A and B are shown apart, each in its own frame.
Chain A
Amino acid sequence: MIDFENRIIGMTHAESSGPDSAPFIAKLRGRQEKEMMRKKRVRSGFSAFAFIFLVGMLTTSQFVELPKQDYYWSEVDSNREYFDTDFPIFDQGYDTLHVEEFTLFMIEETGIWDTEDLFYFNELYENTNEYEVSL
């Protein structure tokens, strides 16, 4: 048994000078720095996640049913509400109204004065012409 012990002790015998301490320590410092950076990254990642989670939670908690007047048009369910205007007469029969009638209605009721002027001046011009021709 002792011979065998000596044999295995001989097998593990290794003669070699160790590494220089200065580069070894420099390498060790580099690894420590890397490790610290990794820890820092994990910590800041975690903080960022916690912050986003918190903001998300605060935002979600503020979601309440909005009053009707604040609805966006895209959120309105019925067409009826979408086509509602400030003109009650028009609103009552909008679905049966012809498009041209609607255009005329808009010209008459809104401030598109240029269009109206065109009609008016054209008529005036024609009348004047007819009058001048007749002279």
Chain B
Amino acid sequence: MTNDMPEDNDLIREFQSGDEKSFDKLVEKHLQNVFGFFLKITGDKMTAEDLAQDVFMKLYKNLRNFRHESSFSTYLFRINTNTANSWITRNKWKNILHLEQAPERGELDRSVDKEWERKELWDGISRLPKKQRTVVMLRISNSLSYKEISEITGISEGSAKVNYHHAIKRLKEILDND
């Protein structure tokens, strides 16, 4: 999490001193990453864009109070994971209903089959406890190291490893049963 370009902090300082354009530059810089993170979770461009909008709205509201104690990317990842967690919880029931309406496997073509698998996976992830869910989300969506995950979530590296291990075990059970 030390690969922050110094530009981020400069832009934040400029924004904090009243330059609104700096915020736009910050959005421009991080948009693809944030959008990509949500696209992997939702699999839907529109939803991913909406969630990215939510993230930048939250960022706009809170960035004036950013104290540069942690790196900006860690801060942004925290907002991302919180937004994703809220979305997953909100859509838990919706996902379950979708799964109940699943057509016969033989009728599906490959792309639909893949999309279905992805939905099953995120339904499984939504059933995990919050800590495990967050660790898995960060690990499989962004391939972050345990050290990076521990910085974002505020848990120790060891705890992140244990949580991930338990989560994968539980996910395997869920997906194999389904």
What number of residue pairs across chains A and B have CB atoms under 8 A from each other? 63
Do A31 and B57 touch (CB < 8 A)?
Answer: yes
Do B36 and A25 touch (CB < 8 A)?
Answer: no
Do A8 and B31 touch (CB < 8 A)?
Answer: no
Chain B facing A: main interface SS: helix
Give chain B residues whose Cβ lies under 8 Å from the Cβ of A19: 31, 35, 45, 49, 52
B176 to chain A: closest residue by CB? A4
Give chain A residues whose Cβ lies under 8 Å from the Cβ of B36: 14, 18
Q: Does A68 contact B (CB under 8 A)?
A: no
Do B28 and A25 touch (CB < 8 A)?
Answer: yes
Q: How far, in angstroms, from A134 to B36 measured CA to CA in the complex?
A: 128
By the criterion of a CB under 8 Å from any partner CB, how many residues of chain A are at the interface? 20
Do A12 and B41 touch (CB < 8 A)?
Answer: yes
Q: Does A98 contact B (CB under 8 A)?
A: no
Q: How far, in angstroms, from A18 to B40 measured CA to CA in the complex?
A: 12
30 A-B pairs with CB atoms under 8 Å apart are A1-B168, A1-B172, A4-B168, A4-B171, A4-B172, A5-B140, A5-B168, A8-B121, A8-B168, A11-B117, A11-B118, A12-B141, A14-B36, A16-B39, A18-B31, A19-B31, A19-B35, A19-B49, A19-B52, A21-B31, A24-B27, A24-B52, A25-B24, A27-B53, A28-B27, A28-B60, A31-B53, A32-B57, A32-B60, A35-B57
A-B pairs with lowest CB-CB distance, top 6: A18-B35, A18-B32, A12-B40, A21-B28, A14-B39, A11-B121
